[in-house]
Structure 1
């Protein structure tokens, strides 16, 4: 059984997260899937970003000035037009959690730009088509504050995917059951992945009216083969996140999960090749 390698936010261990350079680096390393997050701008553009604000951890203002922890939430992407969002620098500062990440000036791209760039790259390099795993960053307390309501959010994201004719190569994932319910009802052709961080398998699935295609837990929730078997009995693929350390990667391979989401695609690819 082939275990899918998913580049988390592209190749976050080595390049600025959710950036074009990170996605291209992950492709060059040989990932099967590009994982990314999306939020919505004031002018209803689908922006590739993990946070719906400018994170003080790694973002710089257009003039190069730092963003403090206290002020980061005031840079609310849902209240900013995209032309302004694009002026912020998401790569020059680096990320203290990823010390080998290259410091390069880059920006938060639109989902449409990422899809176009990747598709062009695949054609040029004659690489087999890959999949996109797109997380809709949504939580109930943020509806109408840093994001639209679920129905509108889903519509904006799926419009881009349909426009690019990529419905059959996209996985949409979310922690928010409301998002998944709308997708299940309105877009049955799109693969859905349920992201979870805590609670039992049963407790999480009770929050949905259907069984998703993929169950995607925090990797530390997978403690034994029994858990793996429970997921597979329900005909769901099991794709844990975010698996970075060599021992954890080995353990996930041993459990024969269906895919591994990682900040360091090269580590998973290398481990899989030694396991052959």
Structure 2
């Protein structure tokens, strides 16, 4: 069962920072989950929210700010907003990277970066999985590069996710763990999808989810899995 670090190791270090990703690697994760947006100057940056307000010293929408402006804000004083390329250089194929497409117009820019790492730096398509709640973005991924694995995120409906996963040739479904039952897991299994539920933190919840024999667990505390 894969141990998947949520936004790095969010339970230990500020989320989606290089230090958080390094902590996840130090904990021996099999996969790291992170979130991306496209900023005003075109770069793909790693941040969960559409705005800076919750997690940084700054404010405003990511899409209105250039990379140089984003680099001027801090996260818990000591960290910066990283670019996707900075994160991939840090991870350096030590684990699989689950990139969640959060903002608009992130699919092509992300795929362009992955193409460079695959073509020039020895990475493989299976070193990545692109996931999103924005299923149109996942459809775009499939159309632009069907070799990159896709994971369908859902917080509400397993059956709809299965239907779209079939359509988009996804390899996995990433459900909110409260949707998991013996029956819903069986449905996903019948359709040969891997199952990566999120975000499972409490020991009793981890024990329950593990009992369903999912393929991996996304957690702020991946060492608990």
TM-score range for the pair, normalised by the shorter chain length: over 0.9
- Hey, what does 1:255 align to over in structure 2? 212
- Hey, what does 2:198 align to over in structure 1? 241
- Hey, what does 1:215 align to over in structure 2? 173
- Hey, what does 1:24 align to over in structure 2? 22
**How many pairs are equivalent?**
219
| 1:182-221 equivalences in 2 (<5 Å) | 182-199=140-157, 201-207=158-164, 209-221=167-179
- Hey, what does 1:95 align to over in structure 2? none
Instruction: Select which of 111, 118, 135 maps to 1:158.
Output: 111
- Hey, what does 2:99 align to over in structure 1? 134
Quick check: 1:205–1:211 contact (8 Å CA) kept in 2?
Answer: no
How much has 1:211 moved relative to structure 2? 4.3
Q: Distance in 1 between matches of 2:11 and 2:21?
A: 12
Unaligned residue ranges in structure 1 (runs of 5+): 62-71, 93-104, 123-128, 139-146, 269-276
Q: Does 1:116 align with 2:89?
A: yes
Secondary structure at the residue paired with 2:13?
A: coil
Instruction: Select which of 38, 41, 52 maps to 2:36.
Output: 38
How much has 1:53 moved relative to structure 2? 1.1
Aligned-pair RMSD on alpha carbons? Answer: 1.4
Quick check: 1:15–1:21 contact (8 Å CA) kept in 2?
Answer: yes
- Hey, what does 2:128 align to over in structure 1? 170
Cα deviation, 1:105-140, whole Å, max 9, x if unaligned, reads 101100001111221xx7xxxxxx3100000004xx
- Hey, what does 2:224 align to over in structure 1? 267
Secondary structure at the residue paired with 2:9?
A: coil
Secondary structure at the residue paired with 1:164?
A: helix
TM-score between both structures, scaled by the size of structure 1? 0.76
